[in-house]
Amino acid sequence: MKRLFSCVGLAALTFGCARGPNVASSQLPLRRVVVYRNGVGYFERAGSVDESEVTFQMRQEAVGDFLATLAIVERGGSSVRSASFPIEIADKFEPLAPPVCPSEPGKCPEPASKERKERNPLRRVSLRLDGKQHDLAIGYVAETPVWRPSYRVVVNPGGKAELQSWGIIQNLSGEDWRDVELVLVAGAPLAFQSTLGRPVTPTRPVVNDSGEVIAAMPEGVTSLENKVGGEVTRYVPEEEAAAAPASAPVLLSDESAKSAASGSGRSLGGMPKATVKRRAKSDAVDKKEMAMPNAAAAMPPAPPALVHQAPSAPRNVNILAGVAIESGATRYSVPYPITVPDESATMVLLANEAIPGESVFLFAPDGGVSDSIRHPFRVARFTNSTKGLLERGPIAVFEKGSFLGQGLLESLPPGATATVPFALERGVAVEQFAKYDERGARLFKVEVGQLSIERDSVTMTTYKMTNGTKEPAKVLVRHPRRPGTRLFRPAPGTEDNAAVGNALVPISITPNGHAELVVDERLAQQRTVGWLEPLADEAVKAYLGDARSDSKSVTQLAAAWQVRELWKRQVDEQARLVTERGELERNLEQLKDSLRAIEKNAQAGDLRQKLARKLGDASTRIDQITKRLVEVELGMREQEVRFRDAIEDIKILNVPPPKE
């Protein structure tokens, strides 16, 4: 929220103002601040108080969050007995109706100043104790701006780099954070606004004493005897269960469900368990968490010319934040007490580590950068070898003492590798084209006398590159992955990120040289084919020759395939004879036409004799073919019946995957 004006003096605190501190207490100073990435912060106040109550002043909108997340650790002395707080009445501080002004200018009276001030007053929350001597630590959650990361990466020769991580914190809480222990947490735990400070009176049914009969009788509830810890029995059809996707809900027993419901990882008031445990043990800084200096002590002096000098590592490693993983969250704890005045920001150094990294090229066409369809980006590529999560934030890239550019680092878990573009390289040109094909034939299944095969729909994308510089270039091609496909024999070093829809494929180009990269994607498609088709023969023979195939199925299918070979030869012979007979019949008609044409020509006697002999030979051959076709058809039908009988009991459903 923007602050319109500040409150000055004790009178303003007493009577209220338009914008006071979120939460304040003169009895318990602020000791610890934990800032998250979701708009809330965890604040801890601690100290000894020799009074019967501890009071807090806070804005009305902060009362609900304070009460919902309040956590109290009693270190000694008296115990907390109760917490008293005011409630907000909706119409109590409604603006007054505008006064009726006289017609004379300047005569309209001003509304009472007290009415104006009480529209957004500070509220008082009191913790009452059963004695006067007590040592308390009070923790609660309140709204605060998210902390934001900023990075610098220095790329060095030999695949090495240095990473600096900074955190920027803004204090808009309404009070100074003086000498507090500061912790920054990566990630965003669930948090919501609470309205516990507002009274809720539900509407109740009205029942009078006039003898009116209620029209509808409410139903009662019967609870059956239930054994605690009993198993939940549920029926799922076997085939349905086998086909359920990985995202299907997991069935839990009663005990598992109770464990899952209670294991939320949070304690009283919504505080992280690790935080409560730490506070209960000691108010000192955890040995695992190194504290951090304030912004002025943490930041190294700026170099005179940043463009010629890369950021250097700090001489004193004790100023670096300690990194710990607690309950799955990355926590950066600072070594020294930090002071952040109200309405100001500070920047603290979180980490400075040597990491694997290099500067390479990335060809990844982007609609927002028109020339990226022809030229690659310069990118900084490095691996997060730190202990914690690197949040999304801007990153500056340096190399050889010079500033190269800026990019945006996406959230990077430990062990993951980032590829951050920071400039466009026009000295390297890329062109690409694709072609499509179908290849291969593999047996997919044999069932109820039908054969299904599998073929690959192939997309081959070619990238042709030209390096116009005098330096060798390593290019990573971000190839968009087709859904459901697999990479066929990808280039060494390929990173297949099919889950996010791309693959990073590397290729090197010599100085002033050329390179060509082919990415082969294949999508398996199934279809049913006839037993006599060439694709069926290719698929079955591949299955019979695969050592991974089921031996029993191989024996049965091999025997059936011998019968199929006889059947196929007869089918082929029948087709050949039918073709030959058709050609002879056409030739026979031509011979008859020729004889009719020279029938009355006395000088063509020798030609008539020649044509007559050809006519007789063709008729004889047609008679022979007709006779053979009858024999072939009988044998063909016999072999077909034998083959159908041989495959009747063959069932092949589990076929080895294709060899790449």
Check residue 173 and give its pLDDT.
Answer: 85
Check residue 308 and give its pLDDT.
Answer: 44
- Reported as a single tens digit per residue, the pLDDT across 327-360 is 457 788 887 888 999 889 988 888 888 888 888 9
Query: Is 524 in contact with 454 (CB distance < 8 Å)?
Result: yes
Does 255 have pLDDT greater than 80?
no
Least trusted range by pLDDT, from 229-238, 347-356, 599-608, 625-634: 229-238
Check residue 86 and give its pLDDT.
Answer: 54
Least trusted range by pLDDT, from 20-34, 417-431, 637-651: 20-34
27 to 46, 177, 265: CA distances (angstroms): 9, 15, 31
| Mean pLDDT (the chain, rounded) | 75
Does 223 have pLDDT greater than 90?
no
Length, in residues, of the chain: 660
Instruction: Count CB-CB contacts under 10 A for residue 273.
Output: 14
Mean pLDDT computed over 90-109: 50
Does 27 have pLDDT greater than 90?
no
Nearest to 163 by CA among 149, 173, 176: 149
Strand ranges for 327-472 from DSSP E: 329-333, 338-340, 344-363, 377-383, 393-399, 402-409, 417-424, 428-447, 450-467
pTM (global) more than 0.85? no
Nearest to 137 by CA among 268, 246, 48: 48
| Gap between the Cα atoms of 161 and 150, Å rounded | 17
* Dihedral over Cα of 9, 345, 147, 276: its sign: negative
Which CATH number applies to 551-647: 1.20.1740, 3.40.50, 1.10.287, 2.160.20? Answer: 1.10.287
Does 225 have pLDDT greater than 80?
no
Domain boundaries along the sequence of the chain: 1-95+115-144, 275-424, 428-544, 551-647
Does 324 have pLDDT greater than 90?
no
